[in-house]
Amino acid sequence: MNYNIDKCKIINLPVISDARGNLSFIENENHLPFSFSRFYYLYDIPGGSDRGGHAHKDLHQLIIAGSGSFHVHLDDGSKSRSFILNSPNKGLYICPHIWRSLDSFSSGSLCMVLASDKYDESDYLRTYDDFLTFIKS
């Protein structure tokens, strides 16, 4: 599969809105280009923190700002693109082979991630050089 940054995109999630507030949901097969088997989240993020700084060999992810806002920077080795996530009803889909970093977290922000697989350190490309070598091979 030829993964590149053009495959990464904002996905609008369903919103059920009434006087009691908003409800959004995500169903496997219906809303995402992958099936998820893990949910993790970043919270209590100190101002000035940088997260990410790696790529994945096989993992697909959807990142949602559950609360507050933050920036996500993507790089496929040729092209780069940045997104501001600030809405719980929009998710950023990131395909494999994309170097990503996250910064500019607002106070109290919540970064929620759906991932296609369980945590596996061997799926990580932890240095930019390893990432470039991997995508060229």
Residue among 25, 41, 43, 119 that touches ligand TYD (CB under 6 A): 119
Distance CA 131, CA 8 (A): 17
Closest CB 51 distance from ligand TYD, rounded Å? 4
Both structure tokens of 106: 């607002």
Q: Is 71 a catalytic residue?
A: no
List residues bridging with 108 in a β-sheet: none
- Residue closer to ligand TYD by CB (options 42, 64) is 42
Nearer to ligand TYD, 15 or 122 (CB): 122
Amino acid at 24: S
Query: Which of residues 3 and 70 has its CB atom nearest to ligand TYD in the complex?
Result: 70
Minimum distance between the CB of residue 22 and ligand TYD, rounded to whole angstroms? Answer: 26
> Residue 109, exposed/middle/buried by CB under 10 A (0-12, 13-18, 19+)?
buried
H-helix segments, the chain: 128-136
**Alpha carbons 32 and 26: distance in angstroms, whole number:** 8
Of the candidate residues 40, 80, 108, 127, the single one contacting ligand TYD (CB under 6 A): 40
Out of 4, 26, 52, 67, the only residue in the binding site for ligand TYD (CB under 6 A) is: 52
Q: How many helices (H) and strands (E) does the chain have?
A: 1, 12
- Region binding ligand TYD by CB under 6 A among candidate stretches 36-44, 55-63, 81-89, 127-135: 36-44
Residues that bind ligand TYD (CB under 6 A): 38, 40, 42, 51-52, 119
